[in-house]
Structure 1
Amino acid sequence: MVHFVGAGSGAADLITVRGHKLLTEADVIIYAGSLVNPELLKISKEECKIYDSASMTLEEVIDVMKAAETAGKTTVRLHTGDPSIYGAIREQMDLLDSCGIEYDVVPGVSSCFGAAAALKAEYTLPDVSQTVIITRMAGRTPVPEKEEISLLAAHQATMVIFLSTGLLEPLRDRLLAGGYQKDTPAAIVYKASWPDEKIFRGTVDTLPLMAKENKITKTALILVGDFLGETYDRSKLYDPAFTHEFRQASK
């Protein structure tokens, strides 16, 4: 059996209880060494074989899984954050399907939620934004034309932008072209929930300067939108004048 496990956003104690248990039981662990906190590997069994996938190809990863399966061993494929977001797990699962190897997926705390926690922010504020767009700039990995940043920016929703710290000048330009104002609040969160986490607040216009001044070139999320501002409406759910299934409005 192969278990795809989300390691969480960085802090070792943000892995799920299920993920933690699977790590302690695994015979083989294949982890994303460039991103996963190595502290998580300390809970593995002494005899567990550990592979760093940073230097491996997809085929090499699958070969390790196949060998473990043939030997009747359990494998944990440990991905950063939540495996469903930029985790490249579909291609692994398709190959496992072709080999007749069973697998499951254990969700994790994505860095987009670690970043919100670091900022003490709520992405979905009433009358500000009820939509969160998770995306990235096109780089060596292309982005579909219909998902070009300026087209998404036109919605003026909350945006969480992955894998784009080295492209902040063109990102800023595309955000402005899409309709964000120069003074729209923005933030850079470096290594959310890690011990060396850093937070930088500014505006869409100052994103490149924030990164340059603080020497941030990778492993950071870009967050854009008025959810980082000061103005919002109170939630109806807890409004004393609002009736819902569990409470009558007070008169």
Structure 2
Amino acid sequence: MTVYFIGAGPGDPELLTLKGARLISECPVCLYAGSLVPEAVVANAPKDAIVMDTAPMHLDETHAEIVKAHANGQDVARVHSGDPSLYGAIAEQIRRLKADGIDYKIIPGVPAYTAAAAALGQELTVPEVAQSIVLTRMSMKSTGMPAGETLDNFGRTGTTLAIHLGIRALREIERQLIPHYGADCPVAVIYRVGWPDELILRGTLSDIRAKVRDAKITRTALILLGPALADDNGFPDSALYDATKPHVLRPKAKT
């Protein structure tokens, strides 16, 4: 018996990996986070499978279902949004599985920030503008952030930021990041990326809060910001396909 932590992607059922889809179709027990994973993602579960939305359940309840499946020799598809390695809350589940001697495997999925970049039609790492991405979140009422992991510290890098759970903290985001990025820094808010009601708002650090308020977005949105999101940075082409710069697979430079 194995518990499969499956990354469902951001919402679009077609962004579920082939491996994830196969395992969902094979497992007799399927536990999915219904607040963030559409039913369509688990629609191919076996007809006689036990399919449970874990959104209203707490950790001990979901683990009890896994223990029950383990006693029955049934594999479990534990389906999470995005990629389980990022804010997937799987660490505490794994701790319990190890304590009970239950095998598990992790099946990666498409993270929300990559789906958001695709929806924007942009690359998040631009030559000589931004070559790093900081994935972070706001604490608010959620688990607190470790010391040192602050917006102020991340803002000092000047690179692309992907901020989760921050849609209700835009005023604080403005306060901490405008000194580093400037009021005109481009910002994109992507609401429910990959879902039928996906909504994209573009603006700057100085005006995005008003746009979000007008759109009445209060949850389930990712914030991307940084100079890489500008329409035209005047950036140079990368060296990857530069005809004048040879590399191991293209050993001869071309003029």
TM-score by length of 2: 0.96
**Cα distance, 1:74 vs structure 2:** 0.8
Q: Report what 2:53 is aligned to.
A: 52
In 2, Cα distance between equivalents of 1:192 and 1:148: 25
- Aligned pairs, number: 250
| Long gaps (5+) in structure 2 | none
Runs of 4+ in 1 over 4 A off after TM superposition: none
User: SS of the counterpart of 2:223?
Assistant: strand
**Cα distance, 1:145 vs structure 2:** 2.6
Letter in 2 for 1:249: A
Letter in 1 for 2:238: S
Matched, 1:21 2:25: no
Q: Report what 1:163 is aligned to.
A: 165
Q: Report what 1:221 is aligned to.
A: 222
Counterpart of 1:154 (choices 150, 153, 156) is: 156
**Cα distance, 1:226 vs structure 2:** 0.8
The answer on whether the counterparts of 2:139 and 2:165 sit within 8 Å (CA) in structure 1 is: no
Letter in 1 for 2:239: K
Counterpart of 2:146 (choices 137, 144, 147) is: 144
User: SS of the counterpart of 2:35?
Assistant: coil
**Cα distance, 1:37 vs structure 2:** 1.2
Identity of aligned residues (%): 38
In 1, Cα distance between equivalents of 2:20 and 2:254: 44
The answer on whether the counterparts of 1:150 and 1:176 sit within 8 Å (CA) in structure 2 is: no
User: SS of the counterpart of 1:54?
Assistant: coil
Letter in 1 for 2:53: D
Within 5 Å, which residues of 2 pair with 1:192-231?
A: 192-229=193-230, 230-231=232-233
The answer on whether the counterparts of 1:137 and 1:171 sit within 8 Å (CA) in structure 2 is: no
Counterpart of 2:245 (choices 231, 236, 242) is: 242
User: SS of the counterpart of 1:29?
Assistant: strand
The answer on whether the counterparts of 1:172 and 1:207 sit within 8 Å (CA) in structure 2 is: no
Q: Report what 1:182 is aligned to.
A: 183
Change in CA separation of 1:85 and 1:25 when aligned onto 2, cut-off 3 Å: same
User: SS of the counterpart of 2:157?
Assistant: coil
**Cα distance, 1:87 vs structure 2:** 0.5
In 1, Cα distance between equivalents of 2:26 and 2:133: 36
Within 5 Å, which residues of 2 pair with 1:115-130?
A: 115-130=116-131
Q: Deviations over 1:11-42 (max 9, x none)?
A: 00100000000000011111101000111121
Q: Report what 2:70 is aligned to.
A: 69
In 1, Cα distance between equivalents of 2:124 and 2:243: 23
Letter in 1 for 2:253: A
Q: Report what 1:109 is aligned to.
A: 110
Letter in 2 for 1:205: S
**Cα distance, 1:169 vs structure 2:** 0.9
Letter in 1 for 2:166: S
**Cα distance, 1:166 vs structure 2:** 1.2
The answer on whether the counterparts of 2:190 and 2:199 sit within 8 Å (CA) in structure 1 is: yes
In 2, Cα distance between equivalents of 1:32 and 1:174: 32
User: SS of the counterpart of 2:10?
Assistant: coil
In 2, Cα distance between equivalents of 1:118 and 1:215: 20
In 1, Cα distance between equivalents of 2:200 and 2:27: 35
| Long gaps (5+) in structure 1 | none
Name whichever structure is richer in helix by fraction. Answer: 1
User: SS of the counterpart of 1:122?
Assistant: coil
CA RMSD of aligned residues (A): 0.9
The answer on whether the counterparts of 1:4 and 1:77 sit within 8 Å (CA) in structure 2 is: yes
Letter in 2 for 1:246: L
